[in-house]
Chain A
Amino acid sequence: MSSAVKSYGVWILAAILLLILPYIFPAGASITTMCLIGIMVIFALSYNMLLGQTGMLSFGHAVYYGLAAFVTSHMINWAAKSGVPLPLPLIPVFGAAAGLFFGIVFGSVSTKRGGTAFAMISLGLAELVYSSSLILRSFFGGEEGISADRTKLIRLFGYNFGPQIQVYYLIAFWTLLCVILMYAITRTPLGRMCNAVRENPERVEFVGYNPQFVRFIAFSLAGLFAGVAGSLAAINIELAQASFVGAAQSGAVLLAAYIGGVAFFVGPVLGAILVTLLSIKLSDFSEIWVLYFGIFFITIILFAPYGLSGLLMMHAQFWRGPFGSKITRLGKLFGAYVVALIPALVMIFGAILLIEMIHHVAQKGAEGANMHFLRRNYLTVNTHTVLPWVGGVIAMIGGFFAFRFTWPTVANAWHNALVDAQRSGK
């Protein structure tokens, strides 16, 4: 019983959370955002079946997402036109089938090789599909894409899935189902052999497994789940567009998975949430938010290769001993973080100010000298005066040196926490 609670408890909790989320965040925009997050969670986890689990770096995962989206749109239109009684919640099954089908077709070509060659091949195949979308207009619908009215299908229990909240529950259901399935797959013989192929494909051959075939199955299954995500995306906005199979979409899922951390199952979930939120919110502040996003990504690669989930997991080792001592230990450590954070924020502020001013001067010269910093009216700087430039440079460089000055403090706090944790035993 207790082991059943352990293994199923987290899923039951997740289900309850998904049920009540719309009551916690009832605004229309929040519902829309949560729909996007759910889709991205499936997509990023399916991507991680490749990168994190099997060690395959794909630059073309959007192919399976996008093609499934088109199949979904065609399917909805066909069912609506022919009157076949196919309710909307079942449509993602066809997306999954489409993702699996294209995963098998392209996987048979691309999984013969691992490493860098696989990465380049995935890129080439993605370009092939994207370029084809301009030619095969009857399937891809050219510039406009293929739109599909999701309310035209047969109703299920009286729901026509017109209101976004109904779509939310549809997406939530499929998200939970896919997450559970993908988690389950990591705990099967194939899932473990995927890890082995990631670690040492050569040795795998000498314990009886064909690493190419392991990659091929992993790739096909990743295609299947990407297909579900793409299908939900098409349902969500009632449209499939060529950009769905494009490089930007493939890049987005890579970023989400990697920023969240590919070494842990939950990593891509965190990444999907963060990346979706950032891409919605950051554009309110700056036109060049994608640049900040890229810098953030590079920073993660350089300094936190296990992503955000890796950073979190690093702190798991301090969660030992009696509750009070855990709190004091982590409290001291976070105190040191705050000390380091202040100069770091000054540095980041300086850098952003400079970047925004360069952008303003280079691109917005016509708008005059005044710039609303981060699009806030209360923060206006005159880019034609010396002060903000000097201030930006001082903040950036000064912030950096002050930040570096705090590193020993953080290292020391870390060391103390470690010693303290070891002392309180297991």
Chain B
Amino acid sequence: MAELIIISTLNGVLYGMLLFLMASGLTLIFSMMGVLNFAHASFYMLGAFLGFQISQWAGFIPAIILAPLIAGGLGALVERYGLRTVHKHGHVAELLFTFGLAFIIEEVIQMIWGKLAMDYRVPSFLDFSAFTIYATNYPAYKAFMLVFSIAIFIGLIFLLTRTRAGLIIQASLTHPNMVGMLGHNVPRVFMLVFGLGTSLAAIAGAIAGAAFVTQSNMAALLGPILFVVVVVGGLGSLWGAFVASLLIGLLQTFAIASDWSLSKFFGSYLSPTRGTILFDIWTVTIAQIGPILPYLLLVLVLIFRPTGLFGTRDT
């Protein structure tokens, strides 16, 4: 039991940190520009595929450096030549644009790499067991991912609170007009933030792709969860995104490890007829409902706190 709890906690925090790598970029972009980048998970996917391709040619280390840079560069271009054009038509048009972009990125990836999973593997120098908890070996690569994502998290905090660029970004979060008045080139800040945000997603993709599955449906699978994270945390709240990321990371990881169901507890009192909805609900295990837990959380949060856990903005 203790073993399960420790391993699940580690995995949950890891998953949560990866979610936060993406959610932080998404939140930064949303806070500054008012655009929820629907294609954010697509940049995560792009990061994974670029990471895979570059690691084939040049190895793993160049891959996790170059993939985010390329994806971030593409992100900046998208902002400069796409989003900026539709901006005048309002937020709905912007959201639709990123929706279309997500669509196109998925199709382009399928066009080049096909629909099957890539053979993107953990590099051999990280392919060993880092430590053993009771009987479970914890892979070094997972430990590396955890350390890496926490390092980037700290780097992001440093960037936002200790550098001039970070201060401008922070100021833009709360007072976008004022920052423009003070003579900063707001469009360029937007472009850079969009590039930064998408490259954060691509980093997550480049390192997670090797551990999990690199496939053309990974954005569609992850995207909705990502949006749940930012809505549950409160749109535009970085702190909220952090808490919600960890919450959902832990929630899903623990759910997967659990085979509890209603019938396991109450089966001796009541057993619904096979083939009815009640029977389905009765026998489903928590592991099976793991995928819907984030969405249930979303509904609950919306009922009790419509602006999200840490949200203040009503958009």
A and B are interacting partners: yes
Show the binding face of A for B, using Cβ within 8 Å: 51, 55, 57, 59, 109-110, 112-117, 119-121, 123-128, 131-132, 134-139, 247, 251, 254, 258, 288, 290-291, 294-295, 297-298, 301-302, 305, 355, 358-359, 362-363
Given A131-B291, A294-B107, are A116 and B36 neighbors across the interface (CB < 8 Å)? yes
In order of increasing CB-CB distance, the 10 nearest A-B pairs are A128-B295, A291-B107, A294-B103, A131-B292, A294-B104, A298-B100, A127-B224, A124-B298, A120-B227, A362-B112
Taking the closest CB of chain B, its distance from the CB of A4, in whole angstroms, is 38
A124–B296 Cα gap in the complex (Å)? Answer: 9
Given A131-B295, A135-B280, are A109 and B82 neighbors across the interface (CB < 8 Å)? no
Identify which of B54-62, B89-97, B157-165, B174-182 touches chain A: B89-97
Given A116-B91, A363-B114, are A125 and B299 neighbors across the interface (CB < 8 Å)? yes
| A301 touching B95, Cβ below 8 Å | no
A–B complex contacts, Cβ < 8 Å, 6 sampled: A127-B295, A135-B288, A136-B277, A291-B111, A298-B104, A305-B86
Residues in B with CB closer than 8 Å to A55 are 92
| B292 touching A132, Cβ below 8 Å | yes
A285–B296 Cα gap in the complex (Å)? Answer: 42
Taking the closest CB of chain A, its distance from the CB of B37, in whole angstroms, is 11
**A-B contact sample (7 more), CB < 8 A, given A119-B95, A358-B112:** A117-B314, A124-B295, A139-B277, A288-B111, A290-B107, A294-B100, A362-B111
Residues in B with CB closer than 8 Å to A254 are 96, 99
Residues in A with CB closer than 8 Å to B307 are 113
Please name the residue on chain A nearest to B115 by beta carbon: A363
A295–B108 Cα gap in the complex (Å)? Answer: 11
Residues in B with CB closer than 8 Å to A291 are 104, 107-108, 110-111
Please report whether the interface of chain A is mostly helix, strand, loop or mixed according to DSSP. helix
| B231 touching A138, Cβ below 8 Å | no
| B302 touching A297, Cβ below 8 Å | no
Please name the residue on chain A nearest to B88 by beta carbon: A305
| A116 touching B235, Cβ below 8 Å | yes
Show the binding face of B for A, using Cβ within 8 Å: 30, 34, 36, 82, 85-86, 89, 91-93, 95-97, 99-101, 103-104, 107-108, 110-114, 220, 224, 227-228, 230-231, 235, 275-277, 279-281, 284, 288-289, 291-292, 294-296, 298-299, 302-303, 306-307, 314-315
| A288 touching B110, Cβ below 8 Å | yes
| A137 touching B111, Cβ below 8 Å | no
| A115 touching B99, Cβ below 8 Å | no
* Best-buried of B95, B99, B108, B296 by chain A (most CB within 10 Å): B99
Please report whether the interface of chain B is mostly helix, strand, loop or mixed according to DSSP. helix
Residues in A with CB closer than 8 Å to B230 are 120
Taking the closest CB of chain B, its distance from the CB of A281, in whole angstroms, is 18
Residues in B with CB closer than 8 Å to A301 are 86, 93, 96-97, 100
Residues in A with CB closer than 8 Å to B298 are 121, 124-125, 128
| A116 touching B111, Cβ below 8 Å | no
Given A57-B96, A138-B277, A290-B107, are A109 and B302 neighbors across the interface (CB < 8 Å)? yes
Given A110-B302, A135-B284, A298-B97, are A305 and B292 neighbors across the interface (CB < 8 Å)? no
Residues in B with CB closer than 8 Å to A297 are 100, 103
Taking the closest CB of chain B, its distance from the CB of A375, in whole angstroms, is 15
* Best-buried of B92, B95, B114 by chain A (most CB within 10 Å): B92
| A115 touching B299, Cβ below 8 Å | no
| B306 touching A113, Cβ below 8 Å | yes
Please name the residue on chain A nearest to B292 by beta carbon: A131
Residues in A with CB closer than 8 Å to B92 are 51, 55, 57
Residues in B with CB closer than 8 Å to A247 are 220, 224
Given A135-B288, A138-B279, A359-B111, are A298 and B101 neighbors across the interface (CB < 8 Å)? yes
